[in-house]
Amino acid sequence: MHWYVDVLKKYAVFSGRARRQEYWMFTLISTVISIVVAIAEGVLGTNSVIGTVYVLAVLLPSLAVTVRRLHDTDRSGWWVLIGLIPVVGWIVLLVFTCLDSQPQPNKYGPSPKHVPPYPTYPTY
């Protein structure tokens, strides 16, 4: 769950890099929440108001984490626009987000795989 919250904390951060795990865990949790909201709306009959609010709330973080994921594969964030092309664009974007990250630092920053997410303190 911390992957989801970490992405929300970086609400509109388009710089830096995002690991595959961060991207896909956010996508998974967001999808599960969307399904639960859709089921709740079906039961309550709220005419998809809550779902629309949720989609609008996570639109910017979703876009930001996708751009950071593309940065991790050493691609410009502008590649996210290829997703606007039906089917072919979606497949290309899916492949790009599934690729492994560059282990060395690139122009978007150091590899998130090799940077500890939290400060480590010596144990005695």
- Token representation of residue 79: 């590649």
> Is residue 46 included in any domain, yes or no?
yes
**Mean pLDDT taken over the chain:** 89
Range of the domain at 79: 2-114
Work out the angle at residue 73's Cα, subtended by the Cα atoms of residues 70 and 78, and round it to the nearest 5 degrees: 30
120 occurs within a structural domain: no
Q: Which of 25-34, 81-90, 107-116 bottoms out in mean pLDDT, i.e. has the lowest?
A: 107-116
- pLDDT of residue 119 exceeding 70, the answer is no
Query: What pLDDT shows up at residue 47?
Result: 83
**Residue 121: inside a domain, yes or no?**
no
The structure tokens listed for 52 are: 């629309």
Does a structural domain hold residue 123?
A: no
pLDDT at 39 (0 to 100)? 94
Domain count, the chain: 1
CA distance 68 to 24: 12
Q: How confident is the model at residue 76 (pLDDT cuts 50, 70, 90)?
A: very high
Residue 119 lies in a domain: no
Residue 25 belongs to a domain:
yes
Is 75 a domain residue?
Answer: yes
Query: Residue 124 falls within a domain, yes or no?
Result: no
Confidence at residue 115, expressed as pLDDT on a 0 to 100 scale: 61
